Structure 1
Amino acid sequence: MKLVTLIKKDDPNSTQHIGVLLDNGQRIAILQAGIEAMTGSPSPFFIDMLAFLRGDTAARDEAHAVVEYITGQHPPDSIVASDSVTLLAPVPRPESIRDYMGFEQHIINCIRAAGLKKLAPFDEWVEKNFGRKRSIAYRLNKAWYDRPIYYKGNRFSVVGSDAPVHMPAYTKKLDYELEWGIFTGKSGVDIPKEQAFQYIGGYTIFNDFSARDIQMEEMAGRLGPTKGKDFDTGNTMGPCLVTPDEIPDPYDLTMVARVNGEEWSRGTTADTTWTFEDIIAYVSQSETIHPGEFFGSGTCSGAQGRGCGLEMGKFLKVGDVVELEVEKIGILRNRIEE
């Protein structure tokens, strides 16, 4: 299923509903309306997306049954046209946000672009002729190979697809990041990697907008990022939450970023070094994870392309429209505004 959180455009109270996309996204089945028509009472699983994630497999099973009932019986008010609603982020306020660096090539590219600068071509030559482990970028980044490093983001700055992203007044180098991520679907602690897949509640697309000039200044202090990442509307997610049964092989998906219709980035989840299972196992060491927590993949860079503007030396401006597309999920689209 592809699930969404929505508000009906003609609803003066802006009530949030969760629904399931139908007909390639042209229509949406409203789950709570469907279960009430089906059973005569609402479901605690369909109060919001956090409640759905807490329900885990029982919630998914009930949603499947409700969608089958809605598409077969067409009860009143259970289906809406997609153009009659506003989509929010699938989980408008996650329980937490962790974003980690899952793609080796991204951190190598960033070290060269932001750290080595004029030495970057020489370091690329060293890697080409003597191997990556002899390169400067590798040697400066050795800690990354020991564990899946992450930072914690601001869960209050999340917005959905087609929502405006406001450029912070303090930056001149706003950047996008081609990412995707998971929401957890159950609680656990000290989770073995071999069992970690069972804790994935769904997948979505993530754009971790970044003020690169500020980020570089902050991280020179050996901590952060802080205001390089934390600003209103800086975390965009969507357009939907895809349940794991829809993506049998999550590490074989094409990812693309476009700015104003022009392709800037292309990659594949196959280039992931640290998987979601790795990060669940790492984070849950002596720490309980809970349903509704978000783990971002980090920027998708690899053999096919570079996953953010920093790696290419180009940045966003007011008026730009950024689209991230991930196979089997959809397109996350946002416009940069003042």
Structure 2
Amino acid sequence: MRFATYESDGAVHSGVVADDGLHPLPDTTTTVLDVVRLGLPAALDAGAAALRGPAVALTEVRLLPPLAPPTVRDFVAFEEHVEGVVASVSGGAGVPPEWYEAPTFYFTNPYALLGAHDDVAIPPGSAQFDFELEVAAVVGRDGTSLTPERAREAIFGYTILNDWSARDLQRREMKVQLGPAKGKDSATTLGPWLVTADELADRHDEDGFLALEMSVAVNGRPVGRDLLANMGWPFADLVSYASRGTWVRAGDVLGSGTCGNGGCLAELWGRGRDVPPLAPGDVVEMTVEGLGTIRNTVVAGARLPPVRPARPRSRRRTR
């Protein structure tokens, strides 16, 4: 089943996507996050009830992010991506040996989420704007220190994630051994909807990886293509690691990290490819098998004054 959040006639609604359009949930106050918190069996019942009602054409609504997650973690689970980006962002070479030891993630901004077809503004001060093709898992139940087996059972569903990145801002931040922060928190696209895990049950390989084809194009020109199963860890391991010694909650979003083979421009830059950063007017389209397509247009961002640098430190020890 595919759950969506959308805007129609100035109001926000939640519903189920079918071939004939969007079927609003019977209770207009119910959000997709509420449905996720019900758990998968009850959520499927709520969706089935919605499908018995009338539909709204997809062309008549604005798709919003499928849900408003409490937190968004973004992992870096593709070895090929790390290999290419280390050179262009960190100035190094190869994959750090620490990457193989355990999954690595950072928390990104849940207030900067955009819908499947929203415009995306270039962050102030950035001249190297980039996309990142990812898939995200949505947690369906609270848990702590979950085993991978229990973590897989806790996944409610999946959606496409584009982790928009200001590479020049990110590069400066990471030289301070902290981040990324401002290089990442201006925009993240989620969408077009949330596909429940049962729809993809037959797409797992024998090791628990989802074998879904992923692709990205800029202005209609193919840029990258990969298989989601090329992750270094399956999503169950990512959820398990995120819950290690702490909690994950229903509705939390966990990104896979960017796929390889052109999943972002920075990877291509690191491999010596002379491709320009994104500019206003560029259209970035991402498709993931079984999950759908998102398509965003890049627009100019706000023009703000430069950030004031730090003052030289004072040597005084008393007033």
TM-score (norm 1): 0.82
Give the conservation status (yes or no) of the 8 Å contact 1:252–1:270: yes
Residue 126 (structure 1) aligns with: none
Equivalences for residues 114-129 of structure 1 within 5 A: 114-115=89-90
Within 1, Cα distance between the matches of 2:60 and 2:166? 34
Is 1:27 aligned with 2:21? yes
Is 1:6 aligned with 2:6? yes
Is 1:104 aligned with 2:85? no
Give the conservation status (yes or no) of the 8 Å contact 2:75–2:255: yes
Within 2, Cα distance between the matches of 1:333 and 1:290? 29
Is 1:163 aligned with 2:118? yes
Within 1, Cα distance between the matches of 2:17 and 2:6? 11
Partner of residue 46 from structure 2, selected from 58, 63, 67: 63
Equivalences for residues 166-315 of structure 1 within 5 A: 166-231=121-186, 234-248=187-201, 249-250=203-204, 251-301=210-260, 305-313=261-269, 314=275, 315=277
5+ unaligned residues in a row in structure 1: which ranges?
33-41, 71-77, 118-135
Question: Match of 2:112, as an amino acid?
Answer: S
Question: Match of 1:57, as an amino acid?
Answer: L
After the TM superposition, which of the residue ranges 211-220 and 311-320 deviates more from structure 2? 311-320
Give the conservation status (yes or no) of the 8 Å contact 1:96–1:293: yes
Tell me how far 1:60 sits from its aligned partner: 2.2
Tell me how far 1:67 sits from its aligned partner: 4.2
5+ unaligned residues in a row in structure 2: which ranges?
205-209, 270-274, 301-319
Question: Match of 2:87, as an amino acid?
Answer: R
Within 1, Cα distance between the matches of 2:122 and 2:216? 19
Is 1:144 aligned with 2:127? no
Alignment length, in residue pairs? 288
Is 1:331 aligned with 2:293? yes
Q: Using the aligned pairs only, state the percent identity.
A: 35
Q: What is the root-mean-square deviation in Å for CA atoms of aligned residues?
A: 1.6
Within 1, Cα distance between the matches of 2:149 and 2:42? 24
Give the conservation status (yes or no) of the 8 Å contact 2:90–2:175: no
Give the conservation status (yes or no) of the 8 Å contact 2:140–2:156: yes
Give the conservation status (yes or no) of the 8 Å contact 2:130–2:164: yes
Within 2, Cα distance between the matches of 1:98 and 1:116? 25
Please give the per-residue CA displacement for 1:83-124, whole angstroms capped at 9, x wherever unaligned. 111110101x3100100001111101112334457xxxxxxx
Within 1, Cα distance between the matches of 2:299 and 2:183? 17
TM-score (norm 2): 0.86
Tell me how far 1:239 sits from its aligned partner: 0.4
